[in-house]
Amino acid sequence: MRTGARPLILALALLLGCNGSRDQLLADLQSPRPEVRALAVKKLAGQGNPDDLVLFTRAAKDFAAIVRAEAAVALGESQDARVVDLLGELLEDQDEEVQGRAAMALSKVNNEKAKAYLTLQYGRRGRATRQVIVQALKNANVPGAMAEVVAAEARSQWDRNQLALTEGALPERVGAAEELGKSGRPDAVNRLLPLVRDSQVILAAAAVRGLGDAGDKRAVSPIALLLEENFPELRESAIHALMKLQDPVATQRLQLVAVEKSAVSPLAIDAIVSFPRTPQTDASLCAIVMEGAPAEALVAGRSMRTRGGCSVDTIGERLARPATAASGLQAVEGLGPAALPLLGKVVPWLSHSDATLRLLAVEAVAEVGDASVVPALQKLYEQEVKGLEALRADWVTQALPEKFGVGFDPSTMPPTPSTPGLKDERPSRHADLLGRVKELNAARVRESGRDVVRHRVPTELYDDVAPERLVPLATLLRALGALKAPGALELLTGYTQDSSAALRVAALVGLARLGPEGVNVAKAGLVEPDRDLQKALAQVLAEAGEAGQAALIEMLPKMGSEKLLVLDALTRAGAVPGSASTQLQAVVREGGPEAALAAALLGRIQAKDAVPTLVKALDEPNSVARRDVLLALGSIGDAQAADAVAKDLFHDLPEIRAAAASSLRKLGSAAHADQLEALKADYFRTVREAAGAAPASASTASEGAP
């Protein structure tokens, strides 16, 4: 009897064990620990019991993302058509992991409604989920999965923006006008052109900005006419749009704006300079050199230095008369070495009785760069110093004290008389706290390898010389440095410790132009607390050739937030030493806005050793430097970065998709050809063209539609 009962007992034990295990899982669903609930959902899903669907439905509403993610998987494994709507909700979950699990679950249900959810949500989700959605559609055997969702997103955006432009409130119409223009479709241009004359200026300006983004040359003439309007916002939008459209046809109208000396005149000059070079653009720039405000004339003149300069006869005629000499001297300053034939007509103005004309003449000869005028400048310098000698004499010959005298230190003050016998420890505690904070900050700076910025202590209680009175002396110091005058190194070095910020800036700028020896002295000014000084010095060092650029790179690790000034100066100068890769990579690793400029410079020098650093920077999802990192990887051209770059073809921001597509085409990775082909149907013109599509302006209206 015992022998015959053994199999029955074993079967009952197994049955009770299984029920006990299931009962435990059902109990775990009520656990306060999310990971326990998630594991219970996973194990129950593995049992394949149809009656558990209601449990998974309840788990899909759990407050913990880990539980909702497992519930999405379990619902998908059921392949029950009734769960499609619930999975569609999970596809909109705030957690990306849940979104991805829901997308893959919908692919297992694999009906038309599930595919519709996946297609709809592609345009609403972030990069990671968009990538999973495409993979889910592929798993569901949808042909051309990425092309289909990209085209669907484009149609949705087009319809939404058309509706907002037609029926929306004013703010919605403004946004829609700009977004329609970004599509670059010929139909968008047709809809926006009539709006440039709309009575609501804000809408007209938005239409103009949209036409600039559309890139269709048909908009050039209507936009150029708006330069005659009186509304600053409309004129500014028109100039920015013309700059994007890059058609020199608008040059003449932009020239009129440039010489009117208004707030938008600098923008007009920037637009003309950005245009492809033509005889018309050269003539307009030369006219601005003669007729524009000083700042605008200088910009126009500098741009003409590499274009052969302007007519010296016209400028010479102006230099011959005191009434027009100022504009002639400004023209010479802007043209610099290109105006060397006019030097003989400029030198007499160095001794003119008018201080303004003398100052303009000093600046002009300094830019021309001929050392023959150095004796005249040295004479002017001596006269200027002599005239300031009495005014700049120190009232107090001894250095001012930098510490409290005995009995005057607040931290050692005795208790106040109002509280006899009670010791007030607040001043000493306050001083100790500040002291500890300063020590900690100094230690942190030393550990980072940066120089401690020391604020300059005033040497006088009061200065008799107004800052504007020192402008002539500062101009002469810069000129002596620019012309590499004999003894300039010692002279300018002495002024680097002057109490006047204007003279210190002038001395440091002059030193930066003296060559390697001067650069070695001037670079210390990059850790001065004065931001204007840092900016001016960084720009001059960047333009001073290899020595100045090497000094900027050398000082980069020793600087804090000032790095942005240095990197911006190197970017504007268009040059950076090839040996700068290590320092620039360190900036990229630190992140922040500086990383964007550093990445662009790494791409410019094609630093192949920087590829791992740049690829790792793409792991930071919220990096402000993402676009620049992608473009840098494309410029470097290392095919090993292709897979990392390709992930951003799914990014929700069009400028990131465009950068990724542009870089991937340069990297030449055939593995991602289908994804690039799909982006040729993207809503945004910049993305389509980066992916290799023909410009919309070269297509018919029907061909322009995605």
- Pick from 363, 297, 358: nearest CA to 331: 297
- Pick from 310, 377, 219, 75: nearest CA to 696: 219
* pLDDT recorded at residue 421: 52
How far is it, in rounded angstroms, from Cα 512 to Cα 525? 10
At 568-581, the pLDDT tens digits run 999 998 888 888 99
Cβ-Cβ contacts under 8 Å for 678 (sequence gap 6 or more): 144, 146, 147, 150
How far is it, in rounded angstroms, from Cα 583 to Cα 610? 10
Cβ-Cβ contacts under 8 Å for 573 (sequence gap 6 or more): 539, 542, 543, 549
Identify the DSSP state of 369: T
Q: What is the pTM of this model?
A: 0.83
State the average pLDDT over residues 534-542. Answer: 92
How far is it, in rounded angstroms, from Cα 342 to Cα 352? 17
How far is it, in rounded angstroms, from Cα 194 to Cα 201? 13
Confidence tier at 342 by pLDDT (50, 70, 90) = very high
How far is it, in rounded angstroms, from Cα 204 to Cα 181? 13
Give me the phi and psi of 547, to 5 degrees please.
-65, -45
CB 300 within 8 A of CB 289: yes
Determine what percent of the chain falls in helix, strand and coil, rounding each to the nearest 5: 75, 0, 25
Cα 244 to Cα 62, 272, 479, 627: the distances in Å are: 51, 11, 38, 19
Identify the DSSP state of 132: H
At 200-245, the pLDDT tens digits run 999 999 999 999 999 999 999 999 999 999 999 999 999 999 999 9
At 370-426, the pLDDT tens digits run 999 999 999 999 999 998 877 776 555 566 566 767 767 766 665 555 555 545 555
SS (H, E, C) 234-249: HHHHHHHHHHHHCCHH
Confidence tier at 106 by pLDDT (50, 70, 90) = very high
* pLDDT recorded at residue 8: 40
State the average pLDDT over residues 327-335. Answer: 94
* pLDDT recorded at residue 6: 47
* pLDDT recorded at residue 114: 93
SS (H, E, C) 92-126: CCCCHHHHHHHHHHHHHHCCHHHHHHHHHHHCCCC
> Quick one: 10 exposed, middle or buried, by C-beta within 10 A (0-12, 13-18, 19+)?
exposed
Report the range of poorest mean pLDDT among 4-18, 325-339, 463-477, 518-532: 4-18
Confidence tier at 18 by pLDDT (50, 70, 90) = very low
Mean pLDDT, the chain, whole residue set:
87
What's the gap between Cα 428 and its chain centre? Answer: 46
Confidence tier at 171 by pLDDT (50, 70, 90) = very high
Structural domains for the chain = 28-142 (1.25.10.10), 370-391+465-559 (no CATH)
* pLDDT recorded at residue 411: 60
* pLDDT recorded at residue 285: 95
Pick the more confident residue, 319 or 430. Answer: 319
* pLDDT recorded at residue 7: 47
* pLDDT recorded at residue 703: 39
Helix axes 563-573, 531-542, angle to 10 degrees: 30
At 553-601, the pLDDT tens digits run 999 888 877 889 999 999 998 888 888 999 999 999 998 889 999 999 9
* pLDDT recorded at residue 320: 92
pLDDT at 160 over 80: yes
At 681-693, the pLDDT tens digits run 999 999 999 998 8
How far is it, in rounded angstroms, from Cα 197 to Cα 231? 12
> Count of residues for the chain?
706
Please name the residue that has the structure tokens 């650093």: 613
* pLDDT recorded at residue 308: 86
